[in-house]
Structure 1
Amino acid sequence: MPEGHSVHRIARQFDRNFVGHRLSAVSPQGRFAEGAALIDGCTATSVRAVGKQMFLEFDETFWLRVHLGMYGAWDFAGEILTDPTIASANGRMGQTNQRGTEVAETVMDTAGENSLSSIGAPRRARVRVRMSEQTKGLADEESEQWPPPPVGQVRLRLLTDRTCADLRGPTACAIQTPDEVATVIDKLGPDPLVDDVAEGEDRFTQVVLRKPTPIGLLLMDQSVISGIGNVYRAELLFRAQQNPHTPGREVRDDVVRGIWRDWVRMLAVGVETGQMMTMDDLDPDSYRRAMASRDDRHWVYHRAGLPCRVCGTAIVMEQAAGRKLYWCPRCQA
């Protein structure tokens, strides 16, 4: 499932390429025909991401709410104006990891996780990247037909005169009023990129410390904290050396606050790089490997049965509320 960093990257991509433009909209699949007809001919006036949900406003009147869920993705084609604050696939040089190790070249993820052309479930899409309004980048792959023909089950297609966005497989795709959007957002936990960071820390800590629910489940509860999914959950808990089964109310206050602060930092790295980089203090070669491959990027996630990178104990994988939970029974005892 796309986690919070991906949704914020999508929102920034829409901000640069769609907000301020009058859009054409169709539903090639047919399942969102009524909503597409309402959007068609309207101007995108703002966009925001909160946790795992994105909200795109039209004519300052109504909103499109999208939750990608497990399998959803936005595929982009045409010319894409890139966000200068975002590294990796846009060709920006001199990325840095969490502790400041400089890498001289852009490092692409082999699975396409940091792609500009498909954000969400990895897919291949046609794209011509523009580094700025004045400078054109090289085409990754360019369609001879504009707009490119829809491929697969496209729920919604949004078009400007130069950029195409295709939405596939979302859990939620709905037209909402401003009041309905406010109601949805009010039910979500704090997001470090939306809420005041200090207030978000206090709010998150207060909720966790009164809950009997295991901390490993609380981190996945979007009403407690926004944007964390299975990968970040496992990695945050390992980095905190926290047993995932400990009830929230039994976790120390300083540990809960440390998890929030770590999430603030890792979310920022994820938005910049497009990858869930959760390991620190890597030398340049190790950093390149980690940026290129998830297997070299995480402490415990997807490492069931492999030795812990710290203590050598076999990493455990178990089911928790229907999702896979990875943790080290020694480091997190």
Structure 2
Amino acid sequence: MGSLCAVPIFGDLLKSSNPDFVFLSKTLSDKKDIKELANKFGFFDYFAVDKVGREGGLAIMWKRFVGCNVIDFSNNHIDVHIMEGSNVDWRLTCYYGFPERDRRQNAWHFLRGLVRYDSIPWCIVGDFNDMLCVTNKMGPYPHPQSLLDGFKATIDDCGLLEVDLKGGDYTWEKSKGKPNWVRERLDRAFADAKRKFPLYRIDGEGVKRYFEERQKLEDLLMHEELYWKQRAKAFWLTEGDTNSKYFHAAASKRKKLNHITHLVTGENEVVDSHDGMGRVVLDYFRSVFDGRNSGSV
């Protein structure tokens, strides 16, 4: 939620789908920011895990009539028990996987450690930063088969079946419209295969709306990044960076450095008024094009 555009888009999504429960990963926010967000959009309560430096951050929010009890959490997950009006007790794990490839083994070990052999149904959702098959990626450099096999083996060991999502094949992309455009399916939902999950359904229209709004958000973020690249010069940003106070400050500083406060004429006269500098510049270029330049600016 660290982007200028993210909050209003988030609000539009809430209005269109009216969810009872919301999970946010990689919020780049602190608990106080999540509290303000929950209050702004009318959620009864929330639980948040602070970001670490300029990375991470998790949050869940729920409505008044949803009984939610946090039983465990880390920088990668929030584990809750949920009681609904029908007295159906089930477990929900909101998960964010390590993004680094060299930590895939750690991620799979972490997922296996989440398995609890109790009697209630279990659902785990989130950004796994992993893929199950080659069709989960579109773009250059195919995903290594060893990583596909490792994640699939982990899901099988956990006794999970994927809850199919409709409305889009990919949930993350980078370098849209460029030759190296990459699209991947990283966000997933799984349910316990051994116990019937009581609230399982696929809201096709809602999922379609989600992907439409997500695309709008990504387009807005791309335009915002282009704007700041133009202000702060392209070398201040590298592909994939998000806007921050640092880059905004850098752009403002560069604007000040590029501001002309005064000009000196050929007669060493200092001119600092706006109109005066305009006349000096005009006289200078007139003399250049007339071939009679004898002064300097």
**Alignment TM-score, normalising by the size of structure 2:** 0.25
Higher relative contact order (CA 8 A, sep 6+): 1
Report which of the two structures shows the higher radius of gyration computed on alpha carbons.
2
Quick check: which one's helix share is greater?
2
Question: TM-score, normalising length from structure 1?
Answer: 0.23
